[in-house]
Amino acid sequence: MQHSEVPVVTEIPIAGKEAGPYGITLGPDGALWLTFAQSGRVARLTLDSELMEYPLDSPTCRPTVIAAGPDGALWFTRYQDHRIGRITVDGAAEAFDLPTPDSGPYGITAGPDGAVWFTLINADRVGRISGEGDVTEFPLPVEGAYPSAITAGPDGALWFTLNQANAIGRITVDGDVTLHPLPTPGAAPVGITSDGVALWFVEIAAGQIGRISVDGEIEEFPLPDRTAKPHAIVAAAAGDCWFTEWGANRVGHITDRGEISEYDIPTPSSEPHGITVGPDGAIWAALETGGVVRVAPTP
């Protein structure tokens, strides 16, 4: 995506605030898939704004982060009832129990091993679930760490944020864990993504974007507004990342050189959370107040 001209920002209402659109990802069917955290639904959105909602078996399960799985289905965390959900592109949903009670699953991603990996915020663990629903949990070597987002790295391992331990974690598919402390105290990292070369993450409390190499070298880039509360991040290409500013009502962009651009969302206080690259090459973000925003280059 080129950024020589100001992108077009389009806001699309898709649900009421009571639905609470939260996570968003590109599905294998070329549609956008969202979690409606407040109403216990998963939704499918096409580029021509056709919305299909799929109620889950519990309206209070709080579906949170969603990702395309290695099996052609969508996988998501159910933060409130502590389960992992799976939904096919035809809307058939199922859920899998986790071994640790009240574990608080949050981040989720397809792993390099054909399984799905996730974080357990309340249990200081990272989990792995096979396509058949077999779950393995790996304890982390730290307590109260609040493992949050997780992504597959370019090195064949999984990388995740430790929101309260102020670190970035790496776990191999065999469960070996390495922690990389952040330079800024109390930065509270949340979202993380791989651009195919390095990992990029957001520091919600410090108002910074971070980059970590697979060797553990960390750089931090302060946002113009340190109170913007960056939340989620996605890579469009190497050195080309987009992120949501939950506290500032914006979508931001950062280059490999740390150059930052920011774009206002039309409706005030729209609470942008999840972000993804759409099937049209534009950037799409979920707005908790009931919509999505599309950021696209000028034609």
Active site residues: 273
Q: Which one, of 256, 242, 250, lies nearest residue 211 by Cα?
A: 256
Number of other CB atoms surrounding residue 92 within 10 Å: 10
Residue 266 CA from chain centroid, whole number? 22
120: helix, strand or coil: strand
Cβ atoms of 34 and 21 closer than 8 Å? yes
Q: Which one, of 102, 138, 101, lies nearest residue 118 by Cα?
A: 138
Distance CA(75)–CA(56), nearest Å, equals 13
The strand order across the sheet containing 125-129 reads 105-110, 116-120, 125-129, 135-139
Amino acid letter at 51?
L
Long-range contacts of 247-255 (CB under 8 A, 24+ apart): 251/9, 251/275, 251/283, 251/285, 251/293, 251/295, 252/209, 252/223, 252/228, 253/3, 254/200, 254/209, 254/221
